[in-house]
Structure 1
Amino acid sequence: MAQTGQFELSPVTVTEDPARRLTQLVAGLLLFGTSMAMMSRSRLGLNPWDVLHEGLMEKTGLTFGSVTVVTAVLVLLAWIPLRQRPGIGTAANVVLIAVSVDLVRLVLPDQHVLAWQIALLLGGIVLNGLATALYVGARFGPGPRDGLMTGLSARTGRSVRLVRTLIEVCVLAAGWLLGGTVGVGTVLFALAIGPLTQLFLPYVVWRRRS
């Protein structure tokens, strides 16, 4: 079984309806960027990679989306010795998430009322789970960070769960040292994103018809 993050996909070849799959991929990535923006504006904590992105944003003056592109490109360079192969979804992941997170952050200000902060945080986490299921379920290739995880797992012989945990702990520590926001949202995301994605995935994953 091929694993992505905390959920599994059976090795099914998908050949049908590429236009609808592409639409699903684009929708998933745009919603993923939207969920990132919602969590960042809640100011209650981010997922580990976004803690790093926010920390780098504060240090460099780049936009949130620009930082995600830079880190994604650096991660893709790490694919070379791991012999990972990008797909259409890999390139779309880099571009569309960066665009959508910046656009949503432009119109969505930081929240300071607790009720709105909680609503943005919880909504962002649930939307992230749905968005992840959509773009993974379209089966157009892994995102840069997913490919790094599966590549390291394959090369080292270690479990995906262990590799994912080590990567995210390192990323979280680096982001926190750079000034990224770590809070209750970080913990909630870590606990909820796997089950949420697993919940949504069966409804959106593409399978070859028999």
Structure 2
Amino acid sequence: MSTAPPTTPPRAATLLLDLGPLAQLRAGRLPLRLLVLAVGLALYGASLAMMVRGDLGLAPWDVLHSGIVRHVPITLGQAVIVMSFAVLLLWVPLREKPGVATVANAVLVGLSADATLWLLDRPDALAARVGLMVGGVVLCGFATALYIGAQLGRGPRDGLMTGLARRTGWSIRLVRTGIEVTVVLLGLLLGGVLGVGTVVFALAIGPLAQLMMPWFVVRLPERRDP
């Protein structure tokens, strides 16, 4: 009598269906998925603001953005927009498909970050600043798992992450960590601002997203073409 091998938890990348924009909306469970998306994006913006108020280092992409504005006469927000379009060009060879979240990412994350910055002040106590930095990293991993798990598309940078994970077969943890380290190095070359929070974010966000993603992916039926 043969014994079936023990089941293992599915990898996060295999839980995400490769859907186009219309298919994302027609795939079912839309009210739940829109709610999960909105909560995830709001928490994502809050997590970035927490790191800003912790003042112990910017998130890796913001290190790159801060380096860009040292050489080009644009604001940090404009650098974020320019880089978003640049990253979207990398979606083409990866065959990533945009969705509701691709557009909502920029709007809701920005609004949430501004609201959180308005509510939070930079604390004087080092322990409080460390708490904001660590909390921001953990919250960002949680928020990433939530909004990507809604299966309504991904923001430019997270779409690059999931696209590389799907096409290469590498884990989200490995891909995310590699991307974050790369953009930090590019930011430093451009004169961007680095801190201990940057290192913590770059090394921890991949494992956190990898751990939490299977918990929050909204399962959808596979599409079968006739």
Q: Shared fold (TM-score greater than 0.5)? A: yes
Alignment equivalent of 2:43, drawn from 31, 38, 48: 31
| Structure of higher CA gyration radius | 2
Write out per-residue CA displacement over residues 102-150 of structure 1, whole angstroms, 9 at most, x where no aligned residue: 3323443344421221111011011111101110110111221133345
Q: Which residue of 2 aligns with 1:54?
A: 66
Q: CA RMSD in A?
A: 3.2
- Matched to 2:30, the amino acid is P
Q: Which residue of 1 aligns with 2:130?
A: 118
Q: Which moved more, 1:39-48 or 1:125-134?
A: 39-48
Give the whole-Å Cα distance in 2 for the aligned partners of 1:69 and 1:125.
Answer: 22
Q: Which residue of 2 aligns with 1:169?
A: 181
- Matched to 1:141, the amino acid is G
Give the whole-Å Cα distance in 2 for the aligned partners of 1:28 and 1:44.
Answer: 24
Map 1:73-84 onto structure 2 (within 5 A): 73-80=85-92, 82-84=94-96
Count of aligned residue pairs for this structure pair: 204
- Matched to 2:13, the amino acid is E
Q: Which moved more, 1:133-142 or 1:74-83?
A: 74-83
Unaligned runs of 5+ in 1: none
Q: Which moved more, 1:52-61 or 1:33-42?
A: 52-61
Give the whole-Å Cα distance in 2 for the aligned partners of 1:39 and 1:56.
Answer: 20
Write out per-residue CA displacement over residues 160-205 of structure 1, whole angstroms, 9 at most, x where no aligned residue: 6776555433311222244433222222223322333344334322
* TM-score, L = length of structure 1: 0.78
How far 1:159 moved relative to its partner?
4.5
> Could you say what secondary structure the match of 2:28 adopts?
coil
- Matched to 1:131, the amino acid is A
Q: Which residue of 1 aligns with 2:13?
A: 8
Contact 2:37 2:150 in 1 (8 A): yes
How far 1:208 moved relative to its partner?
3.5
Give the whole-Å Cα distance in 2 for the aligned partners of 1:22 and 1:189.
Answer: 27
Q: Which residue of 2 aligns with 1:40?
A: 52
- Matched to 1:189, the amino acid is F
How far 1:25 moved relative to its partner?
0.3
> Percent identity among equivalent residues?
49
Q: Does 1:92 align with 2:104?
A: yes
Q: Does 1:17 align with 2:36?
A: no
Give the whole-Å Cα distance in 1 for the aligned partners of 2:92 and 2:68.
Answer: 24
Contact 1:55 1:176 in 2 (8 A): yes
Q: Which residue of 2 aligns with 1:195?
A: 207
Q: Which moved more, 1:163-172 or 1:20-29?
A: 163-172
Pair 1:57–1:108, CA change in 2 (3 A): farther
Q: Does 1:132 align with 2:144?
A: yes
Write out per-residue CA displacement over residues 82-112 of structure 1, whole angstroms, 9 at most, x where no aligned residue: 5432111111112222232233234433444
Give the whole-Å Cα distance in 1 for the aligned partners of 2:178 and 2:207.
Answer: 20
Pair 1:208–1:78, CA change in 2 (3 A): closer
- Matched to 1:136, the amino acid is I
